[in-house]
Every structure is written in C-alpha cells, then in structure tokens.
Structure 1
Amino acid sequence: MVKKELTEKSPLRSLEKAVNGGLGKGNIAVIASKQGIGKTACLVHIATDKLMRNKHVIHVSYANKVDHIVNWYEDIFTEISKKRSLEGAMDVHNDIIHNRVIMNFSQKGIPVSQVLASVKAMMDNGQVGTDAIIIDGFDFTIGTAEDIKKFKDFALEEQIELWFSDSYKGEENFQDERGIPKNLVKALDDISVVLTLRAEQNYMVLKLVKDHKSIVSEDLQLKLDPKTLLIAEV
C-alpha cells in the first residue's frame, strides 16, 4: 500500500469526523486516563499519521529521558508499515524523521513561557511549517490555568494544534459527574477536545467527553490494540 492510500484509510480519519472534522489549528486536545493505559502510544500514532501526510511535528516531553519516546515512534511506524504492507517503508521512514523533532524539559523550575520560547525558536530555525505539537507528560496538577492559557495563546498565534496527555494515579474515579477529567476542569475553557482512554477486557477504548463547545459522552468506534498499541477501528 502506498503512503497516501494508507493515511486515507487510517482509523484516525474516524477520530477527525467525530470531532467535527478534526481538532483544528489554534486548539488544544487532551487524552486523559489512568497511568499505563496507552496515552503516549496514542499521541505518537496521531503524530506519525501527521508525519506521513508530510506535516511537521514537535514532540515536547516532560519525562526525565526521551529514549522511550524515540522507541515509541519506531515501534508505531514499524507496526503501521507491517500491518498495511507499506511500500518503500524504509524510504518513508527516512523521510518522516526529518519532519519530527523531540524536545525535553523539566516542568519543575522551567516556566511554560520559557518552554514556548524554545519551541518557537525551533519552529523558526529548524522546524519551519510545524503543524502540531505533542506535549507528553505535562503534570496538570502542577500546571495552572494560566499555564494552559499560555499554551492556548501560543496555539492561536502560531496556528498549530497542541495535543496533551493527562495521567492519573490510583484506582479512584478521575472524572467529575460530567465525565470531565478533574485535573482539566480549571482550564476547560481553553481546551477544545477531551478524550479519555479506559481499559476493557481485550482492548482500550477512546471516549469523547468534550467536542469543542459541547460536553458529550460518546464511545468512539476506535480502540487501542493491547499488543501493538495502534489505534484501530472496532
């Protein structure tokens, strides 16, 4: 299968339809779940899909190390190329890694304004044409509503998409009575799309709980395969 056909048939097109054509430039999306469910893999699949459509992506990691992020990209690309019999997989791989940059920050001691200044410098000097920024490992319990507003203003100014992960510990319910993850309530006005990820018996299910201006409760026809952690249609 050629790259164009592969991306056209990607299950992520179903996600775009579910949220009125996609997240949209200038907007923030958050994928929330308890720890270890597959949020990073989900974000990497979204990023890889963009890369395969010749878009540029910056992946901002708040983890101590980024080796596992690189490994996720390699694993997700390998699974996609094998599952769909991608033609010229190695050439495609070599092309898309030039359009991806991984940056690493510590949330403690480095303000959001400094992170965004570094990202902006990367966009201007080395990653011109960035379409989306993946922000993985940001701790919403530390981050303030003002921090999210800075991210939102940056997304609007640069006309890019921002995709976050939001992680919860323990077994307690992490959502309020509307289904909104509790960490996100304080900044909900600046977050356009909220998805949650939960474990079922044989797979992980994506649920849409905020679609731009509407609070919803809709299990999407999408799941994460527990073996490959690829997003697939149910």
Structure 2
Amino acid sequence: MYRKFINARSPMRLLEKGLHGGLGVGNLGACVAAPGVGKSSFLVGVAIDELLRGGTVLHVALGQTVGHVRDHYDTVYLALAASTHIDEPTKIQAEIDEHRRIRAYRKNSFSASKLSDAVKVEAESGVRPSLIVIDGLEASQLIADDLVLIRSLAGDLAAEIWFTLDAEEQGGLPSEVADAESLINVILTLESKGDEVTLRAVKDHENEDIHDLHVGLDPRTLLLIRS
C-alpha cells in the first residue's frame, strides 16, 4: 500500500476529526494515563504518522535511553508495515528515521530552556521539527512559566507539541493539570478496557461539545486503531 493511502486511512485522521481538526500548530496536547497503559506508544504512533506525511519529529525522552526509544519506533513501525503491507518498507523506514531526532534527559533534569536549546542545535543542522513529543514529563514539572515558553516555541516553529503524564492512582488527572489547564489545548486520557485501550478527550480546545474519538490502542501491536 502506498504511503498516501496509509495516511488517509490512519486512525489519526479519525482522531483529528474528533478533535475538531486535531491539535493544531502552536498548541500543546497532553496524554494522561496510568503507568504501562500505552502513553509512549501513543506518542510514537503520532510521531510515525507525522513522519509518513513528510514531517520532521523531535522526540524528547525523559528517563529513557536513545536506544530504547529507537527500539520502540522499530517495533511500532514494523507492526504498521506488516498490517498495511506498505510498499518498500525498509526504504521508508530509513527515510523516516532520517527525519526523526531523539534527545534523552534524566527524569528530573528537563526544562523548557533545555528544549529550546535542543531546537536551536537542530536548527543549526537545518532541522526544524513540525512535531515535538515529550515522553515522561512529571506532573510536578507543569510549571506555568515553562509551559508558556513551550507554547511560544511551538508557535515560533509552527509545530505541534504532545507530552505524556502519569494519572493519579485512582486514574484521575493530576491536580497540577487543573492548575495549568489554560495553557494546554488538548487533554486526552488512555483507558484500558479489556483487550483494548480507548482514547478519550477531556479537553478539546475551547469546544464544549467534546466528541467520542473512536480511536484506541492495540496493546498487542502497540498500534493506534479505529475503535
């Protein structure tokens, strides 16, 4: 199957429809779930979709190694290639790897200024990300000043920025999210239901009519799926 058909049929198009057009450039999106439910796989799925559309991705990994992140991409991509019978899978994998950058930081050492520095370094080599994903952010790091800087960076780059957060023990949103909600454009949760993980929108920009997304995550393949 050709890349353009895979893009057209991607569950991400359904997600964008459910979110009244998607996250949008210059905006911040949060994916919140309990540990082990699939937040990292969600980010990788979003990133691979962007890469297949010809975009450039900066993946920021907190508390993980670069090798671990690469392996995760390989796992998800190979599952996608097998399920869609994509043409020339090895060639396409090499192409998307070329347009993906990975930065790894210690769990509590990340800040908005470090993200800005990373973007500047990439810019010096001619790389301008259209999507930034931040995996492993702590709720305690949701500092208003940092989020303002990150949103400003997203606007300057005309990029989307997604990040993950662990849910509270009872599955609820961290209290810090409520304090910073005005700075986050979209908030999604991942909810485990039997053999499938369901995405649910908690905040969709300023829209009051929040829709069902009809998108899930297959915990066996780690792929985003229609649900």
Q: TM-score, normalised by structure 2?
A: 0.93
- In the other structure, the counterpart of 2:167 is 168
Structure 1 residues 231, 127: closer, same or farther in 2, change over 3 A? farther
User: What is aligned with 1:220?
Assistant: 213
Instruction: Give the drift of 1:169.
Output: 5.4
Aligned equivalents of 2:126, 2:162: Cα separation in 1:
17
CA RMSD of aligned residues (A): 1.7
Distance 1:8 1:67, change over 3 A: same
Aligned residue in 1 for 2:19: 19
Deviation string for 1:145-182 (max 9, x for gaps)? 22111111111122111010111353x2423xxxxx53
Contact conserved, 2:217 with 2:224, CA < 8 A, in 1?
yes
CA distance in 1, matches of 2:210, 2:193: 17
3-state SS of 1:220 partner: coil
- The counterpart of 1:187, out of the listed 180, 193, 207, is 180
Q: Confirm whether residue 78 of structure 1 aligns to residue 78 of structure 2.
A: yes
State the one-letter code of the partner of 1:194: I
Q: Which runs of 4+ in 1 moved over 6 A?
A: none
What is aligned with 2:39? 39
Match of 2:118 in 1: 118
> C-alpha displacement at 1:142, in angstroms?
3.2
Quote the sequence identity (%).
29
Aligned partner of 2:225 in structure 1 is 232
Q: Which residues of structure 1 form unaligned runs of 5+?
A: 176-180
Aligned residues: 227
Aligned positions of 1:65-214 closer than 5 A = 65-122=65-122, 124-168=123-167, 170=169, 172-175=170-173, 181-214=174-207
Structure in which a larger fraction of residues adopt helix: 2
- Taking the aligned partners of 1:110 and 1:43, their CA distance within structure 2 comes to 18
- Inter-partner Cα distance in structure 1 for 2:105 and 2:75: 23
Which AA in structure 1 matches 2:54? N
Q: Relative to structure 1, is the Cα distance of residues 168 and 127 closer, same or farther in structure 2, using a 3 angstrom cutoff?
A: farther
Determine helix, strand or coil for the equivalent of 2:199: strand
Aligned-partner SS, 1:79: helix
Q: Which moved further from structure 2: 12-21 or 125-134? A: 125-134
Q: Counterparts of 1:215 and 1:127 in 2: how far apart (Å)?
A: 40
Contact 1:55-1:129 at 8 Å conserved across structures: no
Specify the SS of the correspondent of 2:113. Answer: helix
Structure 1 residue 111 displacement after superposition: 3.6
Question: Which amino acid is 2:18 matched to?
Answer: A
Structure 2 unaligned blocks of 5 or more: none
**1:218 offset after TM fit, Å?**
4.2
TM-score, L = length of structure 1: 0.91
Superposed displacement of residue 90, structure 1: 0.5
Query: Do the aligned partners of residues 127 and 100 (structure 1) sit closer, same or farther apart at CA in structure 2, a change above 3 Å counting?
Result: farther
Deviation readout 1:119-165 (Å, 9 max, x if unpaired): 2221x123524211011111122331221111111111221110101
Looking at structure 2, the residues matched to 127 and 101 of structure 1 have their Cα atoms a distance apart, in angstroms, of 12
Cα separation, 1, equivalents of 2:221 and 2:147: 32
- Counterpart contact for 2:62–2:110, Cα < 8 Å: no
